[in-house]
Amino acid sequence: SQTIHQWPATLVQPVGSPLSLECTVEGTSNPNLYWYRQAAGRGLQLLFYSVGIGQISSEVPQNLSASRPQDRQFILSSKKLLLSDSGFYLCAWSRGRVNEKLFFGSGTQLSVL
């Protein structure tokens, strides 16, 4: 069966510090991978998605970047965090086929202070 791992679960970082959140998927190959962010009390905002190694599409220009160094690994990064980067970050995957569902990780609660 397929599983998605996302870590850490919680993170407190000072403004201006770097960020690296990692997500890995097991039990499948060539998944589509996604990073979403959820501000407190809000819906989910798609940040990045990837359909293959080294292929990243950005939905929202901002202080963050994403990379996919391996088929089942997706990394969200920032060189200098802003207060507005605080939120709940979710990694998700889907099979690259028609009408497939999204499967989410457990999320990372990021607080930038």
Partner 1 sequence: DAKTTQPTSMDCAEGRAANLPCNHSTISGNEYVYWYRQIHSQGPQYIIHGLKNNETNEMASLIITEDRKSSTLILPHATLRDTAVYYCIVRVGDNYGQNFVFGPGTRLSVLP
Positions touching partner 1 (CB under 8 A) are: 6, 32, 34, 36, 42-44, 46, 49, 51, 57, 59, 88, 90, 92, 94-107, 109
Whether omega for the bond prior to residue 8 falls within 30 degrees of 0, making it cis, is yes
Provide the minimum distance between the beta carbon of 70 and partner 1 in the complex, in angstroms, as a whole number.
19
Provide the minimum distance between the beta carbon of 97 and partner 1 in the complex, in angstroms, as a whole number.
5
Provide the minimum distance between the beta carbon of 30 and partner 1 in the complex, in angstroms, as a whole number.
11
Task: Using the minimum distance from each CB to partner 1, give the nearer residue, 31 or 78.
Answer: 31
Helix, strand, coil distribution of the chain in percent, nearest 5: 5, 55, 40
Task: Using the minimum distance from each CB to partner 1, give the nearer residue, 21 or 92.
Answer: 92
Task: Using the minimum distance from each CB to partner 1, give the nearer residue, 3 or 17.
Answer: 3
Structure-block tokens of residue 95: 């099979």
In angstroms, the Cα distances linking 102 to 7, 12, 71 are 19, 28, 17
Task: Using the minimum distance from each CB to partner 1, give the nearer residue, 15 or 60.
Answer: 60
Provide the minimum distance between the beta carbon of 16 and partner 1 in the complex, in angstroms, as a whole number.
26
Within a 10 A sphere around the Cβ of 66, how many other Cβ atoms? 21
Exposure string (b/e) for 17-27, b if CB count within 10 Å is 16 or more?
Answer: eebebebbbee
